[in-house]
Each structure stands twice: as structure tokens, then as C-alpha cells.
Amino acid sequence: MRMVAATLMFCCAATVFAAGDEVNGHAYFTKAELPDMTKILPPFPAFESARFVADQSQHLWGKLMRQDEARAAQAQRDAVYSMQTVIDEMGPLFGLEITKEGTPEIYSILQDVCASCDSIYHDAKATFNRQRPYAYYNEGTLIPEKEEKHRYEGSYPSGHTVFFWTSALLLSDINQSNEAMEKLLARGYEFGQSRVIAGYHWQSDVDAGRMAGSVLYQLIRNHERFIGQLARARAEFKEKTGTLDVASMTCVFISGSPQNIG
């Protein structure tokens, strides 16, 4: 069965552009091809407004959470903006070890999705130019070594949240079991909350980051190259975990594009 599955996967891969390079991956869109998030996201709460009170309350909650050593340590790990952090933190929940050699299709699609994240929020952060909470209060954070680098960088929306929330959406799209989805999306949510706990973002920054990530993933999901990659990644996951039903698997290609991937 494994040999048949591997043959099917090789056949699929041979007819579709192989995405991903050694380091950076291939983003699905240029910045110019993406929507302007300043026209989608609401303005951030004005400082000292009634809506800002909720952000201030969550900031205090975040500082209290730092007293929980395990949660503070998680927030510090979550501050490392990298695909490896996604693999280390979400891999155990995904149900399969993700490596370049052992799961090349899953690794490649994750690499490309991660490479696509910066462009959806970069200009919005610069345009909104919101002051970060630790700068507003002139206080320390859980990640002191990054404070000067980001002190004058816009806070809204949270780029870390975009990155990790989008990654969680992808992994739950590959392993489609309800159990995996629950765990992966819950962990993806906590990545955003870690930014509040670390003191680098207001809650509304994080909420906007999840919205921007969802917008981005919806666009990616309709991209022709991604559709082919997703089919292969799902097949690879099922083959590696012994859950591939070859008899029911449909791998029909029309003009190099896979059909009926679910």
C-alpha cells in the first residue's frame, strides 16, 4: 500500500510546480497583489478612549500571566518569529514530525505560507504606526533584548499573530481531524496571546493580526499553486501516518492542476 501511495504522490508532484527553496520559500503573492489591510481593519482604539480601556485591562492581565513561569516561558518561545518555532510548538499537535527530508511536501507548503505572511501586514503597521504598550508605559517586557529594535515600529496589527495564526490554519487544513484542528487552532490562538503577555502588543493588535491572517489564508487557498501543494501535503500526511485510503483517493490533473482534493 505504501508503495502505491508513494507512486501516486510522485505522479502528483511531477505535474505541478515544486515550490520552496533552501531558505526562504516562494511567497504566493507580491505585496502589490494583496489587498490593503488599512481598508479592511478598523482603526485601532484611540489612546484614552473608552475602547482603549479594554486594551489596558488586557495589558494588566498579560503582566499577571508573567507570574506563571510556564506561561511566561511559552511567551518567550513564541517571540521567535520563525518557521522552526511553528514546527517545534505545533508539530507535536499536528500528529507527524515535520522535517525537510521526512515530509518534503508538508515542509515546502509550510515554507511558502510562512514566506507569504510579511506582505499582508507590513504596510498596515507602518500606516497605523501605533505605539507599543511597553513604549506607552515606558516599562520592561519579557523580551528585553528586542525592546529597542521594535520600540518605534508600529504595533497594529501584530505580525507575529499573522504568522502563527496563518500557520495554524494551514496545518489544520492538512490534518483535517477535529481533534487536530482543536489543538492546532487553540495553540495558534495562544501565540497571539503571548504577544500581550510579553508586553509587545495590545489585545486589539492581536485581534487584528488574526483577521489579517485569515484574509491572507483565504487568498492563498484559492491560489493555483497552493491547491496542488495542499493535495500533495494531505496525501503525504495520510501516507506517513498510515491513514491513506488509496482506493478512494482521486488524483485527477487537468492542465497540470489537481482536482477533487476535498
C-alpha cell recorded at residue 11: 505522479
C-alpha cell recorded at residue 248: 478512494
Give the separation between CA 231 and CA 228, rounded to whole angstroms. Answer: 5
Question: 201 an active-site residue?
Answer: yes
Question: 160 an active-site residue?
Answer: yes
Question: 205 an active-site residue?
Answer: yes
Coil/strand/helix, residue 198: helix
Name the catalytic one among 187, 201, 210, 232.
201
Residue 253 forms beta bridges with which residues? 258
Residue 252 forms beta bridges with which residues? 259
Question: 223 an active-site residue?
Answer: no
Residue found by looking up cell 506582505 in the block:
119
Name the catalytic one among 59, 132, 195, 210.
195
**Alpha carbon of residue 209 to chain centroid:** 10
Name the catalytic one among 55, 78, 205, 207.
205
Give the separation between CA 168 and CA 105, rounded to whole angstroms. Answer: 17
Name the catalytic one among 130, 160, 187, 210.
160
Q: Catalytic amino acids?
A: 160, 195, 201, 205
